[in-house]
Chain A
């Protein structure tokens, strides 16, 4: 066939650019991570032997496990609701989309206006004489509260991304399937589990994959609200680079993040795809 090379030619510039500006730095990151006074794996040895690393790993996984399922369920509910296309649904769509435009720094600051000692929750409670002294949500002594404030902020900030992807999937579902189901007298629940959910699987998978990639890089919200009280992998990367001036350790942390994400994504893709094919049989 003539012009077989055209798609490659169209994609080539983008790939070359990414190779130069992401591939080369990534290669450098590998080099830095495997350079140490104590041999090739020196940085990783230090990493594994430090309690902070395991803490950071634990917190990152914990946040992911708490946040991602909540986001998926909320986003699914919101998408099903907005897809009803009632009067004024575009306004609701806009409100839900607002956090898409906000950086993690901004979202963290918003959370801080609400939960800080001078924040609105304390002001409101004190105004109604429900408490006498402000409740502290931040600080090393209140790690548990900090954790939930961070989780809540992330749920607020990042649910819209999942929502948008799922809504796009929902709108691409062929109406005829649902009409056919009505004809056969399917209940609402049966329509949801037998038709909508299976057809949504590709969108759900993309959303989950994206969210998991981001969850392992969770940083801004944690850093601003909790600092190193709640160490996370990306936070430790930043800490080792900026405060300890140790690009080698920072690179080692970064590679761990990349590795964990790749493993988890691979798991998603094989696991969910296998299930999807099973459903089709």
Chain B
């Protein structure tokens, strides 16, 4: 009885700790400006979609959202095409240099993206990729790729190699065994990883704002325009960025744990 009460009590505290900031930013984005500046009014007298509408339609948030989605989809495509085989190799094969590769994948994150983006501008000008959606997507893919390698390797390691071996006993080649046995089993985890990759690209600001001027993604657009706007536009921006990400995490919540089983042995 006591134990049950303790679990409920802790659950409530944890939920409040993680949900309160989200609740407040959504509330602030729906609060009319007069109520927002009224210091004694915690809850607004009415809710309004005005700030969200203005940000989305008048301030160019709608177009930026489309760019964000396009960038995310291309970068997922590129990083999975290249990262999936690497993730598989890291799980299923033993070869020299394996741990170094795994570690250097992690270490690529020690290089700040802001500075990678600077030389990339020069490279992109030569390749005619400057200020294009594809350019940003390729940069995002380079950021996501190491994670795709680590995360897919974690997903594959959750699927027993014995299934594949059984398939090979019955005359399948290694590739066929992978395609018919491992891949279908890994698919939910891989889809979850793809959604996580989507979120990483959706949230990235610096590469996107340095590499483009006219085709900005939503966060880059917000960093460059909404930050100079009144507070309630900032909150509307925060809400627009937060809601899709939260919905996605809801769909992949079951797979989060198996995805992040990355350890350095």
B116 with A113: CB separation less than 8 A: no
A residues near B210, Cβ cutoff 8 Å: 241
B residues near A169, Cβ cutoff 8 Å: 261, 263
Chain A: interface residue total (CB-CB under 8 A)? 93
Residue of B nearest to A163 (CB): B260
Residue of A nearest to B140 (CB): A21
CA distance A101 to B202 in the complex (A): 9
* Given A24-B123, A86-B7, A206-B262, CB of A113 within 8 Å of CB of B24: yes
- Given B89, B114, B115, B138, which contacts A10 in the complex, CB threshold below 8 Å? B89
CA distance A167 to B256 in the complex (A): 10
A residues near B90, Cβ cutoff 8 Å: 7, 11
B145 with A17: CB separation less than 8 A: yes
CA distance A265 to B258 in the complex (A): 24
The verdict on A14 contacting chain B, using a C-beta distance below 8 Å, is yes
Tell me the chain B residues, 159-204 only, with Cβ under 8 Å from chain A: 199, 202-204
Output the least CB separation between A170 and chain B (Å). Answer: 9
CA distance A84 to B146 in the complex (A): 32
The verdict on A71 contacting chain B, using a C-beta distance below 8 Å, is no
CA distance A250 to B86 in the complex (A): 33
- Given A90, A95, A134, which contacts B14 in the complex, CB threshold below 8 Å? A95
The verdict on B72 contacting chain A, using a C-beta distance below 8 Å, is no
SS class, residues of chain B in contact with chain A: helix
Binds B, one of A26-34, A35-43, A48-56, A141-149: A26-34
The verdict on A59 contacting chain B, using a C-beta distance below 8 Å, is no
CA distance A171 to B199 in the complex (A): 25
B116 with A25: CB separation less than 8 A: yes
A250 with B118: CB separation less than 8 A: yes
Residue of B nearest to A167 (CB): B257
Interface string of B104-134 (1 = CB under 8 A from A): 0011111110111111101100000000000
Residue of A nearest to B116 (CB): A25
Interface residues of A (CB under 8 A from B): 4, 6-8, 10-11, 13-15, 17-18, 21-22, 24-26, 28-29, 32, 78, 81, 84, 86, 88, 90, 92-107, 109-114, 116, 118, 120, 122-124, 126-127, 134, 156, 161, 164-165, 167-169, 171-172, 202-203, 205-206, 209-210, 213-214, 216-217, 219-220, 224, 234, 237-238, 241, 247, 250-251, 253-254, 257-258, 261-262, 265, 269
* Given A11-B101, A251-B118, CB of A164 within 8 Å of CB of B260: yes
The verdict on B69 contacting chain A, using a C-beta distance below 8 Å, is no
B residues near A262, Cβ cutoff 8 Å: 107, 110
A114 with B24: CB separation less than 8 A: yes
B110 with A216: CB separation less than 8 A: yes
B242 with A90: CB separation less than 8 A: no
Output the least CB separation between A16 and chain B (Å). Answer: 8
The 3 closest A-B pairs by CB, nearest first: A28-B119, A103-B203, A101-B245
A residues near B146, Cβ cutoff 8 Å: 18
Output the least CB separation between B139 and chain A (Å). Answer: 7
Output the least CB separation between B20 and chain A (Å). Answer: 8
A residues near B246, Cβ cutoff 8 Å: 98, 101-102
Can you name 16 extra interface pairs (CB under 8 A) apart from A21-B120, A102-B245? A4-B95, A7-B93, A15-B101, A25-B118, A92-B14, A97-B256, A101-B245, A118-B37, A126-B39, A127-B42, A161-B260, A206-B264, A213-B109, A254-B114, A258-B111, A269-B264
The verdict on B61 contacting chain A, using a C-beta distance below 8 Å, is no
- Given A90, A120, A224, which contacts B24 in the complex, CB threshold below 8 Å? A120
B40 with A21: CB separation less than 8 A: no
Output the least CB separation between B117 and chain A (Å). Answer: 8
CA distance A107 to B81 in the complex (A): 31
Output the least CB separation between B35 and chain A (Å). Answer: 10
A156 with B249: CB separation less than 8 A: no
CA distance A126 to B202 in the complex (A): 37
CA distance A8 to B21 in the complex (A): 46
A127 with B40: CB separation less than 8 A: yes
The verdict on B205 contacting chain A, using a C-beta distance below 8 Å, is yes
Residue of B nearest to A247 (CB): B118
* Given A29-B116, A110-B238, A164-B256, CB of A258 within 8 Å of CB of B199: no
A202 with B7: CB separation less than 8 A: no
* Given A10-B88, A101-B246, A106-B241, CB of A18 within 8 Å of CB of B95: no
B18 with A28: CB separation less than 8 A: no
B residues near A97, Cβ cutoff 8 Å: 249, 253, 256
